[in-house]
Amino acid sequence: MIHKEGYPTMNLTILFGSLLVVIAEYFSNNHYVHTLAYALSALLLVIVLQFFRNPARKTVANDNHIIAPADGKVVVIEEVEDSEYFKDRRLQISIFMSPINVHVNRFPISGLVKYVKYHAGLYLVAWHPKSSTENERTTIVVEHKSGKSVLFRQIAGALARRIVYYCKEGNKAVQGAEFGFIKFGSRVDILLPIGTKVNVALNQKVRGGETVMASFD
- Which residues are known catalytic residues? 186
According to DSSP, the β-strands at 212-215 and 137-143 are unpaired
| DSSP tag of 196 | P
Rounded to 10 degrees, what is the CA torsion of 114, 118, 122, 128? 20
Q: Burial level of 190, CB count in 10 A (0-12/13-18/19+)?
A: buried
Check the CA dihedral 74-76-80-85 and report its sign: negative
